[in-house]
Structure 1
Amino acid sequence: MHDHAPFDTAPRSGQMHPLVARLSTEFGWPRLENASDLAEFTCRPGVHCLFVPGDSARNLETPDAAVVLPELRQAFQNGFDCAVVGDAIEADLREATRVLKTPSFLFYRDGTFLGGIEKIRDWDDYLARIPHILAVKG
């Protein structure tokens, strides 16, 4: 469900784009900063989507993805909860899931990784891919 690309090891700008920050400040989505946060969030019952923003200074799609994800959640009738992946665990998570390009959305159910969507896509592509990912039996 995702494209493979070389692992991104370039230095990050350290600045969080305001549209990414808004996901936590306005929508109340947790920011996962360590492996414990990640495990606690993804192992909860239900379906979860992790937003891996990447470096918004280098990746112009990051702000777009930060706007798209709340709309997707609404389109799927809040069928999954969301969190933002912090810089400290992003590289390890990308490597573990093999979803290497950013921005990306990583889907989990009850602690099991289901699949990911990399980069910005057409709306219809999301509407086709997400049900397919959610149909995966963990």
Structure 2
Amino acid sequence: MSTQLSALLARAGAPLLDESNATEILEAGGADESFLLLFCGDPAQRPEVLDVAVIFPELLKAFSGRLRGAVVATSAEKALGKIYQVDVFPSLAVVRGGAAVGVIPRIRDWSEYVAKIDAMLDQAAGSVLRQGPRVTITYSHKGAEA
């Protein structure tokens, strides 16, 4: 993790999440506690990571009392990304009861973050992201020769 990114994330005061402590941290407050997880990715490949890292602590302040935060360790992003359905970096994932409620990929406008996170927090506690493929490939006979 770059020095600049580390400094930005230190502002958030959020714990670093990896495979060894994810269950303990995310389930410590019970099934009704919601977390905002930051999946950074490599800032050298994705410069918008730094923008999302600046927004992350501000979102935690905006949703204070409704949402706790955690930063996913670079070494655990692939494994935890599979669990919490994160395919794109950087992403913010809202997790409740150990399951993903929703994911917001890439950089967004502030109003979009607020609206999406608010909607995710308002969902029923048992509601999680749908399972299965995110893309369905179909075949069209349009233009096919007989």
Is the TM value for this pair above 0.5?
yes
**Counterpart-to-counterpart distance in 1, 2:63 and 2:71:** 18
Kept after mapping to 1: 8 A contact 2:91/2:103: yes
Q: Distance in 1 between matches of 2:3 and 2:65?
A: 23
Structure 1 residue 38 and structure 2 residue 25: aligned? no
Note the C-alpha offset of 1:90: 0.5
The alpha-carbon deviation at position 23 of structure 1 amounts to 5.0
**Deviation of 1:17 (Å):** 2.8
Inter-CA distance 21–91: structure 2 relative to 1 (3 Å threshold): same
> Does the 8 Å contact 1:47/1:81 carry over to 2?
yes
In the alignment, structure 1 residue 72 sits paired with structure 2 residue 56 = no
Cα separation, 2, equivalents of 1:119 and 1:27: 19
TM-score when normalising by structure 2? 0.74
Gaps of 5+ in 1: 1-15
User: Please, which runs of 5 or more residues in structure 2 have no aligned partner?
Assistant: 127-146
For the residue of structure 2 that corresponds to 1:120, the secondary structure is coil
Residues 67-118 of structure 1 deviation map (CA, whole Å, 9 limit, x = unaligned): 0011111122342111111122111122233321111111112323211111
Is the alpha carbon distance of 1:19 and 1:74 closer, same or farther for their aligned partners in structure 2, counting shifts above 3 Å? farther
Q: Distance in 2 between matches of 1:126 and 1:27?
A: 17
Task: Tell me how far 1:41 sits from its aligned partner.
Answer: 1.4
Q: Give identity over the alignment, percent.
A: 34
Question: What's the TM-score once normalised by structure 1's chain length?
Answer: 0.78
Indicate whether 1:22 and 2:20 are aligned: no
Of 23-32 and 67-76, the range deviating more from structure 2 = 23-32
Instruction: Tell me, in whole angstroms, the C-alpha distance in 2 between the residues paired with 1:29 and 1:82.
Output: 5
Contact 1:24/1:30 (8 A) holds in 2: no
Give the number of the structure whose alpha-carbon radius of gyration is greater: 2
Q: CA RMSD in A?
A: 1.8
